[in-house]
């Protein structure tokens, strides 16, 4: 049984049809990225699957429970941060956590552990309005983790986090997925982060799912791009040499997919065969490449 099953949901806000028959699913322990340009419908999708807004049509089931008809059961094992961390800024961090703790019948000891885990112990009694954005993100994450959810839904969770915070969050999410089999649905603009933690990425454009791709986040496969002077020299031996997984050549631009360990061997191969090249570039991310192919220059 899938943890989250979304079938044909549509939503119109005002005159705009924001979501158009969206369907996707998340399995147990999966970390699924949700990627698309601004206005593609990411946040509306997240609001819909957390029952903040109601779909015009379609069904959403979480752990087999219909979200609309069996809201309490469906949300029992779900935690989410939707858009910015929404917190009662005029209350202390502890007060905010207390609400979630009491509503879910969680012990104080567990709450203190989580406070320590997100490194807010020294500031937990301060009013939230005195927190930095990063601290607010950590508090919101603490509120999510407090209930020990089986499905974690995060909308732009790295917003406001510094590089250290981003790395910490990434490690936390990977750990939660691996050790506790928590499924995570995460939307983010930072494609390199998405690539590092996700098994699957759903690309959304203009309210429609364009494609869903699976990834091996531990893969050593990298993309490189270079310009070669004489493409005729790349004969069939190049592919047969076993140095590259795949390659495409457009005009003189060569894009190669290869195991990063084979890079030096490839460069030797070029030297041995007198293949001159320039503008050598390791493409940062496969996801970035695919994103660029799907969305062009959109952000």
Q: Which residues bind another protein (CB under 8 A)?
A: 13, 47, 50-54, 71-76, 78-80, 82-84, 86-91, 95-96, 98-100, 102-104, 143
- Exposure string of 64-96, with b = 16+ CB inside 10 Å and e = fewer, is ebebeeeeeebbebbbbbbeebebeeeebbbeb
> CB of 79: closest distance to another protein in angstroms?
7
> CB of 149: closest distance to another protein in angstroms?
10
Identify which of residues 90 and 109 has a Cβ nearer to another protein in the complex.
Answer: 90
Q: How many CB atoms lie within 10 A of CB 276?
A: 11
Q: Backbone phi, then psi, for 237, in 5-degree steps? A: -65, -30
Contact residues for 189 (Cβ-Cβ < 8 A; gap 6+): 156, 299
Identify which of residues 52 and 241 has a Cβ nearer to another protein in the complex.
Answer: 52
> CB of 197: closest distance to another protein in angstroms?
22
Identify which of residues 81 and 256 has a Cβ nearer to another protein in the complex.
Answer: 81
CA nearest 194: which of 224, 176, 170? 170
How far is 43 from 198, CA to CA, in rounded Å?
A: 18
Identify which of residues 71 and 175 has a Cβ nearer to another protein in the complex.
Answer: 71
Identify which of residues 90 and 235 has a Cβ nearer to another protein in the complex.
Answer: 90
> CB of 206: closest distance to another protein in angstroms?
19
> CB of 5: closest distance to another protein in angstroms?
18
């Amino acid at each position: 049984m899938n943890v989250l099953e979304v079938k044909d949901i549509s939503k119109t806000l005002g005159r705009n049809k924001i979501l158009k028959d969206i369907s996707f699913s998340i399995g147990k322990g999966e970390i699924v990225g949700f990627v698309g340009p601004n206005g593609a419908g990411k946040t509306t999708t997240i609001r819909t699957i957390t029952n903040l807004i109601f779909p015009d049509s379609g069904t959403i089931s979480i752990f087999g429970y219909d979200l609309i008809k069996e809201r309490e059961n469906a949300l029992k094992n779900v935690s989410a941060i939707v858009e910015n961390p929404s917190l009662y800024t005029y209350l202390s961090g502890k007060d905010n956590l207390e609400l979630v703790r009491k509503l879910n019948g969680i012990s104080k000891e567990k709450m203190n552990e989580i406070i320590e885990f997100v490194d807010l112990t020294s500031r937990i009694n301060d009013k939230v309005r005195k927190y930095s954005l990063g601290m607010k993100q950590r508090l919101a994450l603490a509120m999510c983790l407090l209930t020990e959810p089986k499905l974690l839904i995060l909308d732009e969770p790295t917003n406001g986090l510094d590089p250290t915070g981003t790395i910490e969050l990434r490690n936390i999410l990977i750990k939660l997925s691996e050790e506790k089999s928590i499924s995570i649905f995460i939307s983010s603009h930072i494609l390199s982060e998405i690539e590092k933690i996700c098994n699957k990425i759903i690309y959304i454009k203009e309210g429609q799912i364009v494609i869903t791709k699976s990834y091996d986040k531990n893969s050593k496969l990298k993309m490189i791009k270079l310009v070669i002077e004489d493409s005729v020299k790349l004969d069939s031996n190049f592919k047969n040499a076993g140095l590259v997984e795949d390659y495409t050549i457009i005009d003189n631009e060569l894009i190669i997919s290869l195991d990063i360990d084979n890079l030096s061997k490839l460069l030797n191969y070029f030297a041995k065969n007198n293949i001159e090249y320039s503008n050598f570039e390791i493409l940062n991310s496969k996801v970035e490449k695919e994103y660029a192919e799907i969305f062009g220059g959109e952000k």
